[in-house]
């Protein structure tokens, strides 16, 4: 029974360290009496005392159950993940002991509704998700593994990073738009299109919102979006998803150097904003203890020089031969180069043949395009961008060369008919950015419920 003679409790989240809370010392100084809700993250028993770590998604709190409170039926049968309501006094942890926020809750009352109890025995979460669980099973149990410390930290950092992108684009006066996911045009090649029946017509899931962003420039100024993109990637790699979050921006009346400067600015400012939150910074340091914000300027390297660099370092192409101009730099070679150089690289001026149809040629060297990939150590490419062809005849010729029927693209090429402009933009894979920032082995661990070849559940 709750003791009604005690001070009325203050309802708080587990991370609340605001002024309204004082910590008792177990003697003369009384701490604030609080009411908290959460799930049992961990529990251990020491003779007459039970220590719980409670979790509510905002933080963790150590809870101490003593005397009769540690001997009730509910306490004796308590299972991990059970939800609890707990009332008690917040006190400093004894000298030499450690607990989140250096405090512990000395419970005087708790309540567990019967349906709040988590399964125990063979069905206990610790039996279903453990160090020995098969990898494939863990993926099927993503709804449970998300409760783990690493997964939840990555997801919380993700929320902060997405918020930071929005803030930084607002600082730069970009307008946010929301282009369609159901489309009838390709952007990055027919090989990775997800096709579907759209009533009586064929449609695709969008590969990129770029073409739509370009149509916003004339009336909205610089624009961005944070939307899903879809790619039917048929290989299993640690950086390819079928559905990913794409941060894309498009800038009007710029040249290629403006684009590179802007990109460097956005990446660095997003990191600054993200790290300015001490909790998020701590999560990033927990996940990636060696993290240091990248130094500016980023290394700028032309594709042609990268080919030379790869050959000087005897890094061969996928056929086991020396790289030559025109080769696609494959994932493995790209990552080795980035890891050796060990700082962000803007790889620029790719040959037109290996890049998308819409990319602007370099006036000085028409073999290559004004294109950029941003490469990060540990992951490789996290951004792809370029200046766009802004002349109608040139763009129509590019459609022809690529064997793309321009008819469904009328709304795209007509931009060049009604007041064209030098413009460019880029797309950043949010999961790849996070894999780099949070030092995750794969992008699959950087999204809520990953979708990739062979997996569409849970």
For residue 382, the minimal CB distance to ligand 4AD (Å) is 5
Interaction between residue 450 and ligand 4AD (CB under 6 A): no
Query: Which of 99/356 has CB closer to ligand 4AD?
Result: 356
- Where do we find the tokens 């290394």? 299
Q: With 0-12 CB in 10 A as exposed, 13-18 as middle and 19+ as buried, what is 154?
A: buried
Interaction between residue 429 and ligand 4AD (CB under 6 A): yes
Cα 100 to Cα 285: distance, rounded to the nearest angstrom: 16
Residue 412 parent element (H or E)? helix 410-413
Query: Which of 69/387 has CB closer to ligand 4AD?
Result: 387
Cα 128 to Cα 44: distance, rounded to the nearest angstrom: 20
Q: CA separation (Å) from 374 to 105, 345, 449?
A: 48, 6, 26
Size of the site for ligand 4AD (CB under 6 A): 24
Interaction between residue 210 and ligand 4AD (CB under 6 A): yes
Tokens of residue 145, six digits: 């593994």
Compute the C-alpha angle 22/24/25, nearest 5°: 140
For residue 373, the minimal CB distance to ligand 4AD (Å) is 7
Stretch that binds ligand 4AD, among 123-131, 237-245, 341-349, 394-402 (CB under 6 A): 237-245
Quick one: which of 443, 445, 446, 450 contacts ligand 4AD (CB under 6 A)?
443
Interaction between residue 256 and ligand 4AD (CB under 6 A): no
Quick one: which of 32, 82, 208, 440 contacts ligand 4AD (CB under 6 A)?
208
Cα 245 to Cα 57: distance, rounded to the nearest angstrom: 23
Query: Which of 31/385 has CB closer to ligand 4AD?
Result: 385
Quick one: which of 244, 298, 303, 412 contacts ligand 4AD (CB under 6 A)?
244
Query: Which of 50/379 has CB closer to ligand 4AD?
Result: 379
Tokens of residue 315, six digits: 């890094």
User: Quick one: how far is CA 140 from the chain centroid?
Assistant: 20
Interaction between residue 240 and ligand 4AD (CB under 6 A): yes
Interaction between residue 383 and ligand 4AD (CB under 6 A): yes
Quick one: which of 382, 387, 389, 446 contacts ligand 4AD (CB under 6 A)?
382
Interaction between residue 431 and ligand 4AD (CB under 6 A): yes
The strand pairing partners of 179, in sequence order, are: none
Query: Which of 92/233 has CB closer to ligand 4AD?
Result: 233
Reference 51, options 96, 10, 6, 107; nearest CA is 107
For residue 133, the minimal CB distance to ligand 4AD (Å) is 25
Sheet containing 423-429: give its strands across.
Answer: 175-176, 223-230, 243-252, 423-429, 380-387, 371-376, 345-348, 299-302
Cα 82 to Cα 60: distance, rounded to the nearest angstrom: 14
Interaction between residue 9 and ligand 4AD (CB under 6 A): no
Quick one: which of 432, 440, 444, 450 contacts ligand 4AD (CB under 6 A)?
432
Q: CA separation (Å) from 399 to 120, 393, 427?
A: 61, 10, 21
Quick one: which of 425, 434, 445, 446 contacts ligand 4AD (CB under 6 A)?
425
Interaction between residue 445 and ligand 4AD (CB under 6 A): no
Quick one: which of 9, 179, 351, 385 contacts ligand 4AD (CB under 6 A)?
385
Torsion of CA 63, 69, 71, 74, to 10 degrees: -80
Reference 244, options 24, 32, 449; nearest CA is 449
Quick one: which of 33, 91, 231, 416 contacts ligand 4AD (CB under 6 A)?
231
Is the backbone peptide bond immediately before 402 cis, with ω within 30 degrees of 0?
A: no
Interaction between residue 262 and ligand 4AD (CB under 6 A): no
For residue 64, the minimal CB distance to ligand 4AD (Å) is 45
Query: Which of 344/429 has CB closer to ligand 4AD?
Result: 429
Cα 187 to Cα 355: distance, rounded to the nearest angstrom: 11
For residue 424, the minimal CB distance to ligand 4AD (Å) is 8
- Where do we find the tokens 């082995």? 441
Query: Which of 40/247 has CB closer to ligand 4AD?
Result: 247
Interaction between residue 165 and ligand 4AD (CB under 6 A): no
Interaction between residue 380 and ligand 4AD (CB under 6 A): no
The strand pairing partners of 347, in sequence order, are: 301, 373
Cα 225 to Cα 219: distance, rounded to the nearest angstrom: 16
Per CB under 6 A, residues contacting ligand 4AD are 187-188, 208, 210, 231, 233, 240-241, 244, 246, 248, 381-385, 425-429, 431-432, 443
């Amino acid at each position: 029974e709750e003791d009604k003679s005690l001070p009325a409790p203050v309802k708080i989240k587990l991370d609340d360290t605001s002024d309204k809370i004082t910590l008792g010392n177990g003697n003369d100084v009384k701490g604030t009496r609080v009411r908290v809700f959460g799930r049992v993250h961990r529990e251990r028993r020491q003779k007459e005392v039970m220590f719980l770590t409670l979790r509510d998604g905002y933080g963790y709190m150590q809870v101490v159950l003593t005397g009769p409170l540690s001997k009730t039926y509910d306490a004796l049968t308590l299972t991990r993940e059970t939800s609890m309501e707990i009332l008690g006094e917040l006190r400093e942890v004894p000298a030499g002991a450690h607990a989140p926020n250096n405090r512990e809750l000395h419970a005087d009352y708790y309540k567990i509704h019967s349906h709040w109890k988590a399964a125990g025995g063979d069905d206990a979460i610790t039996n279903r998700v453990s160090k020995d669980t098969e990898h494939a099973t863990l993926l099927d149990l993503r709804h449970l593994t998300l409760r783990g410390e690493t997964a939840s930290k990555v997801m919380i950092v993700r929320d902060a990073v997405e918020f930071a992108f929005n803030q930084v684009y607002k600082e730069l006066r970009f307008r946010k738009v929301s282009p369609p996911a159901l489309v009838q045009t390709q952007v990055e090649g027919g090989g990775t299109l997800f096709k579907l029946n759209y009533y009586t017509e064929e449609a695709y899931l969008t590969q990129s919102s770029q073409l739509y962003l370009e149509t916003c420039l004339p009336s909205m100024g610089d624009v961005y979006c944070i939307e899903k993109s879809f790619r039917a990637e048929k290989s299993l790699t640690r950086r390819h998803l079928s559905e990913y979050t794409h941060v894309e921006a498009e800038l009007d009346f710029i040249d290629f150097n403006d684009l590179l400067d802007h990109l460097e600015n956005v990446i660095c400012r997003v990191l600054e904003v993200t790290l300015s939150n001490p909790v998020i910074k701590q999560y990033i340091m927990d996940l990636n203890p060696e993290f240091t914000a990248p130094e500016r300027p980023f290394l700028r390297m032309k594709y042609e020089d990268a080919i030379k660099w790869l050959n000087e370092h005897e890094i061969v192409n996928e056929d086991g031969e020396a790289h030559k101009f025109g080769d696609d730099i494959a994932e493995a070679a790209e990552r080795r180069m980035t890891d050796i150089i060990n700082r962000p690289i803007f790889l620029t001026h790719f040959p037109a043949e290996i890049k998308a149809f819409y990319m602007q040629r370099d006036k000085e060297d028409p073999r290559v395009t004004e294109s950029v990939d941003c490469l990060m150590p540990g992951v490789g490419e996290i951004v792809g961008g370029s200046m766009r062809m802004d002349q109608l005849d040139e763009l129509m010729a590019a459609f022809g060369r690529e064997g793309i029927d321009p008819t469904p693209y009328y709304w795209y090429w007509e931009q060049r008919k009604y007041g064209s402009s030098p413009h460019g933009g880029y797309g950043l894979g949010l999961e790849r950015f996070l894999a780099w920032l949070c030092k995750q082995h794969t992008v699959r661990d950087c999204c809520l419920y990953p979708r990739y070849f062979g997996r569409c559940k849970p």
